[in-house]
């Protein structure tokens, strides 16, 4: 039976169940926010020493502070069961995304380059994840990737080792040294798992396949690293080198750190992507307008149900955070390998060949320019503004959260604090309208929002067409203070978006019940919604990781059909 309350948390629903935990969505009554609670089985407390180990590990995990690690807020004991409280993520897992289709190289790079620094930070503290997999990489509703369950594998391993010498891992991603039962596991085991995950992101397939979990685990020792270019010939040749080096059988031949692996990935990205930089402008001018805070609700973390896979030598515990099922023995399932099974593993390693990249000509770096707008709603221009006149009517405000004001022939929107949307409106109301504007990111994180607003009624009710400088986009509805993505469960990725400090050309329309989003001349999305029929128009910016995001808007236009 689902409890009504755990500590100060009101339980809303069960969102996951497995062999070693039940996961609930709950409401923190003190902080007034949604959280995820993982409740461990009561039998663990039959071991007197486990409670102390749990408390020690929970404190270590809770002290992790990195924008790419799912934060743990609290821990406790209720009805003889221990529990962990963490941020609730709503964007699903990497496993969910891979199931839909293989990721592009650009999207894979964005995710990978965000996660690598988080691993390095934790590894520097002497902590190894031990169970990295797509199911443990979660997304918030803005598409930002996070690593979950740091320390969980070590915690469970410490409890099971009280009664037997056992190993924990997921067969599809276990390093050879984990499979062999070696005790001195270090950061390079996580690097190996990263290589396997990278292969799966780009191909939609795990590196190895087998009919049983133990057979799958053994292939990490006996089989060579697969050739990714034979599965996807469109990938850069250097991608094979990264995967082969990360998944080398001998850990001495691997990347030393996740950061080293990220540097190799960044070198490929730099060849493929332009990186024009706009000069940083001066500090914000102060205004006499009243303070005005504009908040967004933080995204949260969705944890889903997973099943167990059992065989003669392998049995599973909960697949924390993953949405995968155990319909086949080849599914990713955390396993416990006994010493007797490890003894049967051959000790001779198959040395993986590290494939050196083929030489390639330096890529020409194109300059990002504003693409010609596509006409999606013909009609007379009713309002044009190049922002050369500071009295053209746009909202002007400044406070400690952000600002919007005229600046050197532009309209500048500045997000000072993370998790805040700053915007300014034109003070012109429309029902049906098509809007276009050029938006240039000057500074700040790429983990941001750059947006155009239509049908703005107040700070709780409007439509937002937004992109992130990392390549994602969305159409959002804000209704009665609640946010909803329209037309998609998650933010979508598009190569159409000019990434980094550069310019993008927006053209959006709100015509009847149809909302259409064009960017740089190409259509991104079209959705239907009837909740908001008219209102003001505006320009917006936000930062979700660190503050100080500055966007300059220019050549704004509005026309009616």
| CA-to-CA separations, 68 to 36, 58, 90, 140, 226, in angstroms, rounded | 17, 18, 15, 10, 29
Residue 317 near residue 336, CB atoms below 8 Å:
yes
CB atoms inside a 10 Å sphere around CB 528: 10
* Structure-token match 């060949």, residue found: 353
pLDDT along the chain (561 residues), means of 10: 92 80 90 90 74 82 86 90 90 91 90 92 90 90 86 60 56 93 91 96 94 89 90 90 94 94 88 44 35 34 27 34 34 44 38 31 33 45 88 90 92 88 92 95 90 94 95 94 88 90 96 96 95 95 82 95 84
Nearest to 187 by CA among 136, 128, 242: 128
**Cα dihedral: 514, 422, 544, 73 (round 10):** -110
Residue 338 vs residues 20, 153, 171, 181: alpha-carbon distances, Å: 18, 16, 14, 9
Exposed, middle or buried, 291 (CB in 10 Å: 0-12/13-18/19+)?
exposed
Active site residues: 131
pTM: 0.59
- At 273 the pLDDT is 52
DSSP 22-88: EEEEEEETTTTEEEEEEE--GGGGGSHHHHHHHHHHHHHHHT---TTBPPEEEEEEETTEEEEEEEP
Check if the beta carbon of residue 167 is closer than 8 Å to that of residue 102.
no
List the structure tokens of 296: 């967004």
Q: DSSP H helical segments within 371-481, as ranges?
A: none
Residue 38, CB-side half-sphere exposure with 13 Å CA sphere: 26
pLDDT of res. 545: 73
φ/ψ of 540, rounded to 5, equals -140, 160
DSSP 8-state class, residue 455 = E
Please report the domains of the chain, with CATH numbers, ordered by start residue. Answer: 5-87 (3.30.200.20), 100-274+292-343 (1.10.510.10), 381-559 (2.60.120.560)
Closest to 251 measured CA to CA, from 182, 193, 177: 177
CB 542 within 8 Å of CB 449: yes
Decide: 548 and 415 in contact? Cβ < 8 Å.
yes
pLDDT of residue 538: 97
């Amino acid at each position: 039976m689902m409890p009504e309350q755990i500590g100060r948390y009101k339980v809303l629903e069960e969102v996951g169940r497995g062999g070693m935990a039940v996961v609930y969505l709950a409401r923190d009554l003190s902080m007034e926010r949604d959280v995820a609670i993982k409740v461990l089985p009561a039998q663990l407390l039959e071991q007197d020493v486990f409670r102390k180990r749990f408390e020690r590990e929970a404190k270590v995990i809770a002290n992790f502070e990195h924008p790419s690690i799912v934060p743990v807020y609290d821990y406790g004991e209720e009805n003889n069961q221990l529990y962990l409280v963490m941020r609730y993520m709503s964007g699903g897992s990497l496993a969910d995304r891979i199931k839909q289709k293989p990721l592009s190289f650009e999207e894979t790079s964005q995710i990978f380059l965000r996660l690598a620094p988080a691993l390095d930070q934790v590894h520097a503290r002497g902590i190894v994840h031990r169970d990295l997999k797509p199911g443990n990489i979660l997304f918030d509703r803005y598409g930002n990737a996070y690593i979950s369950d740091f320390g969980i594998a070590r915690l469970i391993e410490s409890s099971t080792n009280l009664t037997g010498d056992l190993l924990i891992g997921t067969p599809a991603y276990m390093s050879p040294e984990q499979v062999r039962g070696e005790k001195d596991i270090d950061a390079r085991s996580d690097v190996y798992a990263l290589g396997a995950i990278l292969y799966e992101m780009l191909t939609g397939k795990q590196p190895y396949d087998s009919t049983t979990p133990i057979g799958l685990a053994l292939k990490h020792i006996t089989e060579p690293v697969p050739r990714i270019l034979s599965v996807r010939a469109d990938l850069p040749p250097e991608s094979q080198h990264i995967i082969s080096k990360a998944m080398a059988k001998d850990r001495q031949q691997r990347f030393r750190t996740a950061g080293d692996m990220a540097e190799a990935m960044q070198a490929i990205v730099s060849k493929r992507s332009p990186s024009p930089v706009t000069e940083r402008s001066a500090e914000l001018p102060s205004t006499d307008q009243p303070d005005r805070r504009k908040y967004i609700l933080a995204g949260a973390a969705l944890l889903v149900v997973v099943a167990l896979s059992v065989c003669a030598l392998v049995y599973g515990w909960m697949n924390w955070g993953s949405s995968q099922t155990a319909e086949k023995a080849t599914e990713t399932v955390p396993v416990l390998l006994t010493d007797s099974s490890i003894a049967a593993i051959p000790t001779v390693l198959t040395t993986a060949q590290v494939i050196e990249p083929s030489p390639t000509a330096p890529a020409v770096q194109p300059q990002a320019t504003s693409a010609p707008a596509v006409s999606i709603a013909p009609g007379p221009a009713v309002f044009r503004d190049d922002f050369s006149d500071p009295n053209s009517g746009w909202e002007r405000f400044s406070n400690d959260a952000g600002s919007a004001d005229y600046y050197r022939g532009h309209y500048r929107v500045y997000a000072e604090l993370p998790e805040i949307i700053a915007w300014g409106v034109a003070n012109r109301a429309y029902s049906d309208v098509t809007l276009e504007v050029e938006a240039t990111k000057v500074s700040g994180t790429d983990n941001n929002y750059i947006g155009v607003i239509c049908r703005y009624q107040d700070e709780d009710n409007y439509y937002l067409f937004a992109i992130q400088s990392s390549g994602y986009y969305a159409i959002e509805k804000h209704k009665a203070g609640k946010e909803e993505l329209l037309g998609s469960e998650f933010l979508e990725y598009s190569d159409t978006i000019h990434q980094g400090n550069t310019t993008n050309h927006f053209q959006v329309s709100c015509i009847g019940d149809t909302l259409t989003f064009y960017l740089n001349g190409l259509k991104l999305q079209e959705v239907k919604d009837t909740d908001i029929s008219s209102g003001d128009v505006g320009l917006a910016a936000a930062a979700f990781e660190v503050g100080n995001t500055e966007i300059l808007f220019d050549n704004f236009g509005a026309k009616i059909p």
